[in-house]
Structure 1
Amino acid sequence: MRGEPPAGRELAVDTGLAMLVLVVVGTAITADVGHASAGPGMAAYAFGALLAVLMFARRRWPVATLLLTALTLIVYYGLSYPPIGLAAPAAAALYSAAEQGELRWSVATAGALFGISTTHRILEGDDLAYLLGFETGTTLGLMAAAIALGDGVRARRGWRAELARQSHAARLERERESARRVEQERLRIARDLHDLMAHTVSVISLHTDVARESLRDAPEVAERSLAAARSACSDVSRELRLTLGALRAGDPDDGPALGLDRLDGLVATAAAAGLDIDVRTSGRPVRLSAISDATAYRVVQESLSNVLRHADARRVRVDLDYGAGELLLRVSDDGRGAGTETGTDTGAGTGTGTGGGESRGWGLTGMRERLALLGGGLRTSSPAQGGFVVEASVPLEEHS
């Protein structure tokens, strides 16, 4: 019956219960074990049929079915028809009411039926030893079992429904978490592409200016500058292909692996543009997590790009200080400074950068956002003696 709709299964179950009640009651009527009954007859069997038909209403009207079953039994015994017991005819109705959450009605009806039946039989002079010693325990046990079974089925159904709700809620939460991660990954890729393009365009622009100015007087300098610009174009094209390939494959983590191990190439590119760069490392270098390593690289890259575009500097110093729990990055130049302090540890403001005014606000904002996600921070300042300083703290472990 696995392929039947729920309504079909319910009808089959109700039909089976009705047939069971009809058979049990009909057998008891036919047996006619009573000593002073009116004997089996069509009217007695009609009562049995009525008890069976009530099973088809037990789902929609459980309390009404229970009360009509109890009333039918009282009338039946009042007419002195053959005894059919008390628990067996009422068991299905008691079970149905308890299954539908009407536990109090089931218990109260069972107690009322038992009290009325026992009182009536005591008044008629039935053997008290048999009545109270044997039949009472059997009747109460059957009624209690029917009620307990119905309530257990209801509780189990509720438990399954709660599990289904929790599963649905968990699935929605996973979907929201997945969407959040996708959005974060898109922001990360957008920042990476911004940093990459800004740095490369700065290098190309500077080299083409040098080539233009020295084309007639120093062709060898112009040739070196054009070669450096061509190399920068090749590098950015390769990284763009890797990034787009990773996006098509559905795994952005397969993109170009950025980190401080590529710092020498970054410094060489900036040095080829005319900067004198001094890189100093202090403390005991440790291996950073992938995201921290990439963030540190991007901070240095963005800082050097800003120097090339805005600072009019000749010398740059890059300090990497590995401390307890964090890497302190410091990029300072001898160019024209901004004149005032322009950043705080974890703010998302649009600091101006090295003499660049609002032209570099988005780059610094991107660096602050990257570091804030890791639990780090960024500070920019313009010392009184000139130049500009970018200081970043990069946690050595990922921030949760």
Structure 2
Amino acid sequence: MSRWMRAAADTGLAMLVGILVGIAMSVATEPVLGSRPPDAIAYGLAAVIGGVLLFRRRSPLGVLLLTAACLLLYYGLEYPGITPAVPLALALYTAASGGLLVWSLGVAALFVVLGLTIRPLHLGEPILPVLTDMTAQAGLLLAVVLLGETMRSRRVRLAKAGERLALVEAGREREAARRAAEERLRIAGDIHDVLSHTITGMTIQAALADEMLDDRPADARTALRAIRTAAREATIELRSALGLLRADDGETPPRVPAPGLGQVGELTERARSAGLEATVIVKGEARRLPPAVDLAAFRVVQESVTNTIRHANAGTVQITLAYEPDALEVEVVDDGRPREGRDRRDERPEARGTSGYGLSGMGERASSLGGTLTAAPLPGGGFSVLVRLPIGEPA
């Protein structure tokens, strides 16, 4: 309801109450002799009772007390008695709906008690009719007060429901933001894995092509074709990953199959082309893995092989895939030899890609799936990366 409509409604109610109070005064009868008929003062009090209701929203307690005072003054001037429900109803309702329940009940009880004492004792009315009449008036006043309290409670409940709804909506927004951040981190990890592995392979192939260009042009062309193939595959994967980041703009991201352990053979071929003797050992019965586990296992192998090529000064790398009833173990072991002037046992994991998305990224992948990752130099030389991922019971 707009401000002007509310003001018009309040004005109409104030005029209606004033008119009803004036009518009640004009038709009131007094069983006891000596009361005087309503005059200008009485109708003036009716106008005041109606007029103060214009301010009931701004000062509900003040309006209630002023209305009660006017009604007590009317009774004190010995005008014919009228029911207190008509002049008090709207003031009581406004005060109760504004949270002034105690004041509303107190004012209502005051007039009930005055009626039960003054009418039999001072006016000499029979007790039974007085008791019957005041019981009815007390019920009416109490109903008005309870209606105001009910409306106040309803507003409070609606406000609390709105607050809870706002909290739920804010929680949903925070959860959506958290999921989006996690997805961006996952995509960043995938981009790192693709670029790191591809660029390392391309660098090695380019070096081989440069060395063999004069003496063995056919082998140089083979290396160049390998570079072109790796670049094309990396472009497809990067386009897919970046397409996910653009999906919020309404674009449909390109969809390519997620890599998995089925592509380990391609990794070993690239490792061999880089001069490594790469082997794959499968223990247990290979079976279809959950997509998240399959991708994580592949990324661990990819990152480990890339680190071996870049940092290990190794001649061999062995990839072991062990399928257990409820888990998959992936181990990548190389025979990395110490570089000149360094003891292999002194090499720290920091040299094996822990910065950025290296070993730390592999560890995060494993922990996100409830798995574990161990990476450390071997006592006799070499380096081992072992990850264990739960996959549940086989179907």
- Asked if Structure 1 and Structure 2 have the same fold, meaning a TM-score greater than 0.5 normalized by the shorter chain, the answer is yes
- 2:198 maps to what in 1? 200
Structure 1 length-normalised TM: 0.88
Q: Deviation string for 1:68-111 (max 9, x for gaps)?
A: 11111111011122322012211111111111101111111111
Spell out the pairing of 1:4-153 with structure 2 (5 A cutoff).
4-5=1-2, 7-35=3-31, 36=33, 37-123=35-121, 124-132=123-131, 134-153=132-151
Counterpart AA for 1:131? V
Contact 2:318 2:334 in 1 (8 A): yes
Spell out the pairing of 1:227-242 with structure 2 (5 A cutoff).
227-242=225-240
Structure 2 length-normalised TM: 0.89
- 1:348 maps to what in 2? none
Q: Using the alignment, how far apart are the partners of 2:187 and 2:284 within structure 1?
A: 31
Could you list the runs of 5+ residues in structure 2 that have no partner in the other structure?
A: 339-343
Distance verdict in 2 for CA 1:42–1:290, change over 3 Å: farther
Spell out the pairing of 1:206-221 with structure 2 (5 A cutoff).
206-221=204-219
Q: Are residues 1:386 and 2:381 paired?
A: yes
Distance verdict in 2 for CA 1:248–1:256, change over 3 Å: farther
Counterpart AA for 1:364? L
Contact 2:201 2:274 in 1 (8 A): yes
Counterpart AA for 1:339? R
Return the offset for 1:263.
2.8
Distance verdict in 2 for CA 1:360–1:24, change over 3 Å: closer
Return the offset for 1:125.
0.8
- 1:377 maps to what in 2? 372
Return the offset for 1:340.
5.6
Q: Are residues 1:320 and 2:321 paired?
A: yes
Contact 1:29 1:84 in 2 (8 A): yes
Counterpart AA for 2:128? A
Q: Using the alignment, how far apart are the partners of 1:150 and 1:39 within structure 2?
A: 34
Q: Using the alignment, how far apart are the partners of 1:12 and 1:152 within structure 2?
A: 24
Q: Using the alignment, how far apart are the partners of 1:201 and 1:287 within structure 2?
A: 30
Q: Using the alignment, how far apart are the partners of 2:346 and 2:388 within structure 1?
A: 21
SS of 2:37 mapped into structure 1: coil
Counterpart AA for 2:129? Y
Contact 2:280 2:318 in 1 (8 A): yes
Distance verdict in 2 for CA 1:252–1:76, change over 3 Å: farther
Q: Using the alignment, how far apart are the partners of 2:13 and 2:288 within structure 1?
A: 72
Contact 1:32 1:40 in 2 (8 A): no
Q: Using the alignment, how far apart are the partners of 2:353 and 2:27 within structure 1?
A: 102
- 2:341 maps to what in 1? none
Identity %: 39
Distance verdict in 2 for CA 1:155–1:188, change over 3 Å: same
Q: Deviation string for 1:123-170 (max 9, x for gaps)?
A: 1211211111x2122111111101101111001101111111111222
Counterpart AA for 2:7? L
- 2:258 maps to what in 1? 257
Return the offset for 1:286.
4.8
Q: Using the alignment, how far apart are the partners of 2:22 and 2:285 within structure 1?
A: 93
Q: Using the alignment, how far apart are the partners of 2:254 and 2:174 within structure 1?
A: 20
Could you list the runs of 5+ residues in structure 1 that have no partner in the other structure?
A: 343-350
